Structure 1
Amino acid sequence: MKNYLKVLLGQLVIVLFGFSETYGQSVLDPYYFSGSGPVGTARYTSMGGAFATLGGDISGVSTNPAGGAVFVNHQIDLSLGIAGFETQVDRGEGTRFQINMPSAGVMFSIPVAESKWKAINFGLTSSRIKNFGRNIEYSDQVNAPNSFVDFLLADAGTIPPSELADNSFFGAMAYDTYILEWDENTGSYYTYAGGSSEQRVIYKRAGRNTDYDLNFSANYDNRLYLGVNLGVGNMEIKDEMQNIESFNDTLEKVEFRDDLIRSGSALLFKLGAIYRVNKNIRVSAFYHAPRHYRLLTTYTARLESGFEDNSGYRINDGFEFEYLLRLPSRYGGGVAVVLPKAGVFSIEAEKTRLQNAFLGYYDPGDGAFDADKSFFNSENVDIAQNYVDLISIRAGAEIKISNVALRAGINYQSQPFANKTDALLSRYKPRMFYTGGIGLRLNKNTSLDFFGTYASYRENFFPYSGGLNKEIKISEISIGTGLSLYF
Structure 2
Amino acid sequence: MKYRISGLLAALLFPLYFVSAQTADDALLFSGTSVNGTARFQGLGGAQTALGADISSISGNPAGLGFFRKSEWSITPSLSFSNNPSTYLGNTTSDGKGNFNIANLGLVFASPKDDIIGGKWRGGAFGISFNRINSFQNQFAYEGVNNVNSLTDAFVQQANGIPHADFIDDVAPARLQLAYQTYLINPYSDDDNETEYFSSVGADQNGNPFPVRQRETVNYNGARYQWNFSYGGNYDDKLYFGASLGLSRIRYGITNTYKENVLADRNDMILDNFTLTEEVDVAGTGINVSGGIIYKPNDIIRFGASIVSPTYYWQLTDNFRPTITANYEYTENLGEDVDLNQTQSIDNIEPYEYKLTTPMSASAGIAVFAGKSGFISADVTYSTFNSMRFNTENGGDDFSETNQYIRSNYQPAITARIGGEFRKDIFRLRAGFVYQGEAFKERLDNLDRTRLNFTAGAGVRLEDFYIDFAVVHSRYNSGYTPYTYNPAPSVTTKNRITNGIFSFGMFF
Give 1:87's aligned residue: 84
Alignment of 1:162-311 (within 5 A): 162-164=165-167, 165-184=170-189, 187-194=195-202, 195-247=210-262, 248=264, 249-293=269-313, 294-309=315-330, 311=340
- What is the CA–CA distance in structure 2 between the aligned matches of 1:252 and 1:107, rounded to whole Å? 62
Report the CA distance between 1:465 and its aligned residue: 2.6
Which of 141, 146, 151 is the aligned partner of 1:148?
151
| Displacement of 1:122 | 0.4
Partner of 2:436: 413
> CA, structure 1 residues 96+14, in 2 after alignment: closer, same or farther (shift >3 Å)?
closer
Equivalent of 1:123 in 127, 130, 139: 127
Give, in angstroms, the shift of residue 111 of structure 1: 2.6
CA distance in 2: counterparts of 1:279 and 1:40, whole angstroms? 25
Per the alignment, do residues 306 and 409 of structure 1 end up closer, same or farther by CA in structure 2, a change over 3 Å counting?
same
Give CA deviations for 1:189-209 in whole Å, capped at 9, x if unaligned: 112212211112111112111
2:31 to 15, 24, 34: 34
Aligned-pair CA distance for 1:19? 5.8
- Shift of residue 138, structure 1, vs aligned partner: 2.4
**Residues 310-349 of structure 1 mapped to structure 2, 5 A cutoff:** 311-317=340-346, 318-349=349-380
Deviations 1:380-432 (A, max 9, x none): 22211111111011111001011111100111111221113x4x2x3143221
Deviation at 1:168, TM superposition (A): 2.6
1:16 paired residue number: 12
Change (3 A) 1:223 1:13: closer
Counterpart residue type for residue 183 of structure 2: Y
Letter of the 1:131 partner, please give it.
S
Of residues 111-120 and 406-415 in structure 1, the stretch that sits farther from structure 2 once superposed is 111-120
Evaluate the alpha carbon distance shift between residue 462 and residue 11 of structure 1 in structure 2; reply closer, same or farther with a 3 A threshold.
closer
CA contact (8 A) 2:164 2:195 kept: no
| Distance in 1, Cα, partners of 2:241 & 2:249 | 25
Q: Which moved more, 1:288-297 or 1:28-37?
A: 28-37
Larger Rg: 2
Q: Which amino acid aligns with 2:122?
A: K
- Could you list the per-position Cα deviations for residues 86-121 of structure 1 after superposition, in whole angstroms to 9, with x for gaps in the alignment? 110123110111111111101011134543211131
1:440-455 equivalences under 5 Å are 440-441=460-461, 443-455=462-474
Tell me what 1:475 maps to.
496
1:7 to partner: Cα distance: 6.3
Q: 428-437 vs 401-410, which deviates more?
A: 428-437
What is the SS of the residue equivalent to 2:136? Answer: strand
- Determine the structure 1 residue equivalent to 2:207: none
Letter in 2 for 1:120: G
Shift of 1:295: 1.3
**Percent of aligned pairs sharing the same letter:** 24
Report deviation, 1:32: 2.5
Range with greater deviation from structure 2 (378-387 or 26-35): 26-35
Aligned partner (choices 18, 37, 48) of residue 45 of structure 2? 48
Measured after TM superposition, the shift of residue 41 of structure 1 is 0.4
In structure 2, the residue matched to 1:382 is: 405
**1:236, distance to aligned residue in structure 2 (A):** 1.0
CA shift digits 1:171-219 (9 cap, x unpaired): 2221122222112387411122122111121111121111210011211
CA distance in 1, matches of 2:76, 2:214: 42
Letter in 2 for 1:333: A
Cα deviation per residue 1:278-335 (whole Å; 9 max; x = unaligned)?
1211111111111112211111000122111461222111441111121111111111
What secondary structure, in the 3-state scheme, does the structure 2 residue paired with 1:150 have?
helix
Taking structure 1 as reference, are residues 15 and 302 closer, same or farther at Cα in structure 2, changes over 3 Å only?
Answer: farther
Runs of 4+ in 1 over 4 A off after TM superposition: 6-15
Q: Equivalent residues in 2 for 1:57-72 (5 A)?
A: 57-72=54-69
The one-letter code of the counterpart of 1:174 is: A
With normalisation by structure 1, the TM-score equals: 0.91
Letter in 2 for 1:117: W
Q: Which stretch of structure 1 is more off in the superposition, 29-38 or 342-351?
A: 29-38
Task: Give 1:462's aligned residue.
Answer: 481
Indicate the structure with greater strand content: 1
Structure-2 change in CA distance of 1:135 and 1:285 (3 Å): same
| CA positional deviation for 1:274 | 0.7
- The 8 Å contact of residues 54 and 64 in structure 2, kept in 1 or not, is answered as yes
Match 1:429 to one of 449, 452, 461: 449
CA distance in 2, matches of 1:18, 1:275: 52
The answer to whether the 8 Å contact 1:19/1:460 transfers is no
Identify the residue that residue 366 of structure 1 maps to in structure 2.
none
2:205 corresponds in structure 1 to none
Q: Deviations over 1:41-62 (max 9, x none)?
A: 0101000001111011112331
